Amino acid sequence: MRNNFKSRLALLAVSAIALWSIAAGARAQIAFVPPNDSTGSVLSTNSNDFWGVSRGVVFQATTTQTIDSVSLYQDLTGVRVNFEIDQTTGAFGNIGTGKTVLRSGGHTFTTSGLQFITFTFAPLQLTAGSFYHVRFTFAGNSNQNFFYNNNNVAFGQPGFAQIDGTEADDTSNAVMPSIQIGALSAAPGPTVSIPALSPMLLAALALLLAGASALALRRRTRST
């Protein structure tokens, strides 16, 4: 009986370690948020607001990393959205000239108010020092167009520099959309793309382990 309990406890501990390892290696959602307008706002409603000619974000990667998704914060009803990830020759002015399309695709979305719509694709490596443009287009109207009003001021954050919003492949506009990228772990070896464990689930797991350890201690105390 005692050996059976010890085996279960050992199995629980191994499972906990595995779950913690999975959480550590899960995808990180990276948001581009300008420091001079960290909240953003809805600037237009029932309007295309130049999405027909494309809007997006351009940046320079400062570390080499791999991504497998891009997300856009939008409010749409039956609208087909196209995305494109380009490698560009710079991060200022007309960045469409000389670009290389690395990933692209499209899908029709109906959202529940403002929410992130996500495109996934084969893992793509972003090389430190290179410039990239994540752009979206759609022909219909958006119910709500959310933007950060960064006043055309480029900014940086860990892993990225020269971040700025674009319109029609140009950085001269004053706003930028809310865009996220899904970055995979840079750890060596194969990486499995899975959802991250929530803090609540991890806390519950910690309590479960603590309870099992306390029970084991009480049983050892009674047996001595």
DSSP 168: T
CA distance 170 to 183: 25
Higher-scoring residue by pLDDT: 15, 158: 158
What 3-state class would DSSP assign to 207? helix
Residue 180, both tokens: 């996220």
State both tokens at 14.
């191994």
Checking if the pLDDT of 217 tops 70, the result is no
Residue given tokens 């039956």 in the structure block = 78
pLDDT number for residue 208: 56
Residue of 188, 165, 143 whose CA lies nearest to 42 = 143
| Strands of 28-31's sheet in order across | 28-31, 179-184, 65-74, 115-126
List the structure tokens of 22. 């999975």
| Residue environment code for 56-90, b if the CB has 16+ CB neighbours within 10 A, otherwise e | bbbbbbbeebebbbbbbbbbbeebebbbbbbbbee
Phi, psi (5° rounding) for residue 175? -120, 170
Burial of 195 (0-12, 13-18, 19+ CB in 10 A): exposed
**What domains, with CATH codes, occur in the chain?**
25-184 (2.60.120.820)
- Overall average pLDDT of the 67-88 stretch: 98
Structure tokens at 87: 């490698």
Angle, to 10 degrees, between the axis of helix 199-223 and the axis of helix 2-24? 160
What φ, ψ does residue 91 adopt, rounded to 5°? -130, 25
The percentage of residues in the chain with a pLDDT greater than 90, rounded to a whole number, is 69
Q: DSSP labels for 78-125?
A: SEEEEEEEEEES-SSSB--TT-EEEEEEEEEE--SSSEEEEEEEEEEE
- Token match 């995305």: residue? 83
Whether 146 has a pLDDT exceeding 60, the answer reads: yes
pTM: 0.73
Per-residue pLDDT band for 1 (boundaries 50, 70, 90) equals: low
What is the residue-averaged pLDDT of the chain? 83
